[in-house]
Amino acid sequence: MDRVPALDEPLKKIVGGNTAKVMAAHLDLHTVGDLLHHYPRRYAERGELTRLADLPLDEHVTVVARVAKATKKTFNHGKGVRLEVVVTDGSGALTLVFFGRSVFHHEKALLPGRSGMFAGKVSVFNRTRQLSHPDYELLDQNHEADAAGAVDAFANQLLPLYPACKQLASWQLAKSVGMLLDTMEATGWEGVVDPLPPALREGRGFEALPEALLKIHRPRAKADIAAARDRLKWDEAFVLQVALARRRRAEAQLPAVPRARRQDGLLDAFDAKLPFTLTEGQQRVSAEILRDLAAEHPMHRLLQGEVGSGKTLVALRAMLTVVDAGGQAAMLAPTEVLAQQHHRSVVEMMGELAEGGMLGGSESGTKVVLLTGSMGAAARRQALLDLVTGEAGLVIGTHALIEDKVQFHDLGLVVVDEQHRFGVEQRDALRAKADRPPHLLVMTATPIPRTVAMTVFGDLETSVLDQLPAGRSPIASHVVPAKDKPHFLSRTWERVREEVESGHQAYVVCPRIGDEEDAPKERKGAKSGQRGAGSAADPATEYDVGGAEETTEGADGAGERRPPLAVLDVAEQLTKGALKGLRIEALHGRMHPDDKDALMRRFSAGEVDVLVATTVIEVGVNVPNATAMVIMDADRFGVSQLHQLRGRVGRGSAPGLCLLVTDMPEASPARARLGAVAATLDGFELSRIDLEQRREGDVLGQAQSGVRSSLRMLTVIDDEEIIAAARAEAVATVTADPELERLPALRTALDALLDAEREQYLDKG
């Protein structure tokens, strides 16, 4: 190719149609720029072979190892033949298995003493880890005539190992990248623009982008890799922060109706009713929000805080401020249970102030309406009428608020609770119901590490509530190893009974509902050797919550597991067994909303002793008399989710107790995760642990926006200093040159890394 390919040029022109199809389908690589920025995940050295001892099961891996021995065996009375090749790296051994006609070809190639790269999916057979029919490339196959030359050729070479897939091995990607780099070098890297402003690049001592790309893909020494990483991380952090800074600046230019606090209004009347004093944190955050509401451009603020830190109260004070200023406020909740809970608690907190226009209501009050999808036609019509006429100052609802029929008299504030449950389109649809951009308050009860907040929510100002209100009780948390120590599980149910006999209540949480609707989905795996879910009546798969359990183990103790425990099954077993005589009821998402609400009211009123539930009680549910929580199969929940669930107890004057029941072995990562949850009540610390364990993945990718991520090198948990510094540089750059007229290369990079679809995502905030 005699011309440099453009970064947006399709890969099929470079690597061929078939390879390009595989790259697109399995690695999400579509253009020349995508492949250039598909960086090696690590590097192998000939003298530093990859450790085989810690290979993860059921994952596609690439290893560098040496053939120790190769053995050909027959099976099926001599009709079949297989080749077993044992490779080693000094730390452990791995068996490669080949079947069929290809055995004879592999037998000639895989001679003892040969080294190679081997790629495949790790499985276990007869207690031995193996790769079945792996792809491989022998590292010294071109140097057989000169063994010393082979050592020289590879001894000091760093071999890039790329994120790969079953259809395209790491070395095949390396060849494609190498071919592309040769073309780029031959034509002077004409199409590659450097996003960093020259002054920034020179001030921080970064090398040119082409040099960084060469060093990351073809390092001559480890120092090359470090230098390239430093440069390329800055590219990603800076371009993203520039996009976010431009968003913040654009939002600041939009007009909004100021909603200043009114003296002697609804908010003052509400504050006078409160039987407690706001925490210092609540006062500080409220002041920040009220200052934003009084401005002439829309507030865009993220309110995050610990479980039970009083976020709802802070949000309600903001909503009342807007009502005082003549507007309306809407709170969007992810579930009907949570919407009903919010509505109930808001009405209780406001008292007669929530009965504006009603007999006995306060003259300074307003109307608080609930809008959900399951409401009856008459109630729904009345709620819609109250909104369009302005009779209702506050509305709390689910996705039903977004429907076209819903119209507001003057929507001034949108509060989104549990933001991670909503797509940006849903939030945007509610905001669009205002004549002018309304103020936006986004709440999350899942604490977010500072770097993630700066990266994912960088166009929002952030407020943090890190104090718990006075009177909140401590929560003791313990891991219950039900399989290793069955008597611990028996003691768990004794503790629940003790709490109930002391006048308190308890939750039991399960991962699954467990009615007959689950069975067809579970049985699909039966033909491939998986066990079906069964029902409570199926003794082969029933789990005895009193301690006995049946699990099909793999050789390493982490093999096939029984299905997750189910609410309906556990409720029935507890009713007949360990908690017999207590008032036990089941709550799950498949119940009719009215039935769910009625059950939650009975539980709140103390008419139910033990509530066996799915995670529908994860957020917002507030029953101060509930002091104990047992989480079954706790290892099947995420760290943040466990912290959220635990926050449902200890909400009154009595101490809380959270018991994390698991059947996972002590040495497993799952047990370590549960141990971390039990060891601390600090949600911010747990969010960091959670992020370190699962990594952030596509921070701006499919989990957030539905499009591929621009972050390939940057890791938000490790690169806090880079992100913070890049944010400061980005703010200065955008302030000095809002349209980037003097930085055309940066504009080009923004267009490439933040395409129209992702820019639209940022635009929706």
Question: What are the pLDDT digits (tens) for 410-465?
Answer: 999 999 886 555 555 666 777 788 888 899 998 887 777 766 777 666 767 888 88
Segment 685-703 shows an average pLDDT of 57
Share of the chain above pLDDT 90, in %: 35
3-class state of residue 609 by DSSP? coil
Identify which of 248, 246, 387 has the alpha carbon closest to the alpha carbon of residue 330: 387
Identify which of 489, 507, 464 has the alpha carbon closest to the alpha carbon of residue 544: 489
Taking CA atoms, 742 is separated from 8, 189, 737, in Å, by: 23, 22, 7
What digits encode the pLDDT tens for the residues 321-345? 999 999 999 999 888 878 888 898 8
pLDDT of res. 374? 85
Place of tokens 């450790």: 51
Residues 221 and 205: their CA atoms lie apart, in Å, by 19
Place of tokens 């730390």: 91
pLDDT of res. 204? 92
Segment 672-697 shows an average pLDDT of 76
Identify which of 52, 14, 53 has the alpha carbon closest to the alpha carbon of residue 30: 14
Say if residue 196's pLDDT is above 70: yes
Residues 711 and 720: their CA atoms lie apart, in Å, by 14
Residues 222 and 229: their CA atoms lie apart, in Å, by 11
Say if residue 573's pLDDT is above 80: yes
H or E, element range at 434:
none
Name the most confidently modeled range: 116-130, 211-225, 326-340, 683-697: 211-225
The answer to whether 48 and 42 have CB atoms below 8 angstroms apart is no
| DSSP string across 278-336 | PPHHHHHHHHHHHHHHTSSS--EEEEEE-TTS-HHHHHHHHHHHHHHTT-EEEEE-SSH
Confidence of residue 348 (pLDDT cuts 50, 70, 90): confident
Structure tokens at 112: 């003892």
The answer to whether 165 and 26 have CB atoms below 8 angstroms apart is yes
Question: Helical H runs in 667-719?
Answer: 669-679, 683-694
The answer to whether 216 and 40 have CB atoms below 8 angstroms apart is yes
Q: What is the mean pLDDT of the chain?
A: 81
Residues 497 and 577: their CA atoms lie apart, in Å, by 12
Question: Residue 463's beta-bridge partner residues?
Answer: 303
Residues 744 and 466: their CA atoms lie apart, in Å, by 42
Residues 90 and 50: their CA atoms lie apart, in Å, by 9
What digits encode the pLDDT tens for the residues 604-661? 999 999 999 998 876 667 788 999 999 999 999 988 889 888 988 888 888 999 999 9
Structure tokens at 617: 């009680």
Q: Is 177 exposed, middle or buried (0-12, 13-18, 19+ CB in 10 A)?
A: buried
Confidence of residue 203 (pLDDT cuts 50, 70, 90): very high
The one-letter code for the residue type at 363 is: E
Least confident of 185-199, 267-281, 289-303: 185-199
Structure tokens at 730: 């980005």
The one-letter code for the residue type at 689 is: I
The one-letter code for the residue type at 692 is: E
Structure tokens at 77: 């009375």
Residues 717 and 696: their CA atoms lie apart, in Å, by 8
pLDDT of res. 549? 38
CB proximity list for 505: less than 8 A, separation 6 or greater: 499, 603, 606, 608, 609, 610, 611, 623, 625, 626, 627, 628
Say if residue 713's pLDDT is above 90: no
The three-state (H, E, C) secondary structure of 455-487, written as one string: HHCCCCEEEEECCCCCCCCCEEEEEEECCCCHH
pLDDT of res. 471? 66
Structure tokens at 216: 């990351």
pLDDT of res. 650? 84
The answer to whether 11 and 30 have CB atoms below 8 angstroms apart is yes
Q: Phi/psi at 633 (nearest 5 deg)?
A: 50, 45
The one-letter code for the residue type at 459 is: D
Count CA atoms within 13 Å of residue 523 on its CB side: 8
pTM here is: 0.67
pLDDT of res. 552? 35
CB proximity list for 461: less than 8 A, separation 6 or greater: 288, 292, 299, 300, 301, 302
Identify which of 630, 623, 602, 586 has the alpha carbon closest to the alpha carbon of residue 494: 630
